[in-house]
Amino acid sequence: MTAAPATDHRLARDSGEVIRKGSKSFAAASLLMPAAMRQDTVMLYAWCRYADDVIDGQDMGGAGLTPPDAAERLQALRADTLRALHGDGPVPAPFQALRHVARRHDFPDRWPLDLIDGFAMDVAGRRYATAEDTLRYCYHVAGVVGVMMARVMGVRDDAVLDRACDLGLAFQMTNIARDVMDDARMGRVYLPGEWLDGAVPDPRAATPPAAVHAATLRLLDMAEPYYASARIGLAALPYRAAWSIAAALRIYRAIGLRIRSGGPEAYRRRIGTTLPTKLALITAAKGDALRSRRAVQMDVARDGLWTRPH
């Protein structure tokens, strides 16, 4: 099912503004996709970003919400999402975008609702005792987004969707490592408690203590096999989609490399990649996409990796 062309163009235009403001890395990578695919991926991203901002209070320009406010917003977010998925009545633009993409690509309800369950973990102030707990959180806020993005790119095979989920997991582990101090200022800790031995980031400090920094490096180590698994999945994507995903992979992984090379002092400024670096990584990613055309390697096992719920 598709929306009218005028609706498509309006939603895509508005969604494009969201992605340009919300993620320079994803915006750059998405430019490599065919137009129709890019349109749907940016609309999906816009809904995901809107939902995240609603829970954090950023849609109102705030720095966060009190628990009762966040709980009410979470309930409304879930209700609006279900209306978008099952109804045909008017809904706000981000939910129109979700409706358009979910129906065009036959999403099961579980995928958008799994993302909202991840936001519920934040609202509840969850802590993550083990690495598996952190991975489960990563699935809900990023792995399932990878699954939905892969479906938009034409993927139907569960084994390939698992690889897409792996990329989302790796991205989120990198995000956690990058944002450990910002998260601490919001009262959130995503690093596994068993790695911290009682240490916690000081929200008043500019840099993490040694034990916390060691845990971020350990998390980046844990992300590596998930990045490697995701590379294997490139073979199942159309060429331009594979180039786009390979670019996003290289750009995100480069953030982790900057954390490693900069040490705790890297946290004194926003950790990211410069435009020249992004362009170089996008160029290198073209080679990754070309190499993925030579052979399908989906028989390479995912032994030992956390697997999304099916």
Distance CA 209, CA 226 (A): 27
Rg (CA), the chain: 19
Q: Within a 10 A sphere around the Cβ of 133, how many other Cβ atoms?
A: 17
**Residue 172 has which token pair?**
């989120």
Residue ranges and CATH numbers for the domains of the chain are: 1-107 (1.10.600.10), 126-310 (1.10.600.10)
Instruction: Write down the mean pLDDT value for the chain.
Output: 88
Q: How far is CA 200 from CA 17, 188, 250, 305, in A?
A: 36, 10, 30, 27
> What's the pLDDT score for residue 6?
44
For residue 10, name the pLDDT band (cuts at 50, 70, 90): low
Confidence of residue 43 (pLDDT cuts 50, 70, 90): very high
Rounded to an integer, what distance in angstroms lies between the CA atom of residue 170 and that of residue 258? Answer: 15
pLDDT at 103 over 60: yes
Question: In the chain, which ranges are E strands?
Answer: none
Give the length of the chain.
310
Alpha helices for 23-109 (secondary structure H): 24-30, 35-56, 67-86, 93-104
Contact 150, 160 (CB under 8 A): yes
Q: Both tokens of residue 273?
A: 């990649």
Query: CA 30 to CA 18: how far, in whole Å?
Result: 13
Enter the tokens of residue 20: 């340009």
pLDDT at residue 235, rounded to an integer = 94
pLDDT at position 161 over 70? yes
- Average pLDDT on 68-92 reads 92
Q: Which SS3 state, helix, strand or coil, does residue 125 take?
A: coil
Single pTM value for the model: 0.90
Mean pLDDT in residue range 293-298: 67
The arithmetic mean of pLDDT across residues 241-248, rounded, is 95
pLDDT in tens, 23-37: 566 667 778 898 889
Burial of 48 (0-12, 13-18, 19+ CB in 10 A): buried
The confidence band for 22, taking pLDDT boundaries of 50, 70 and 90, is low
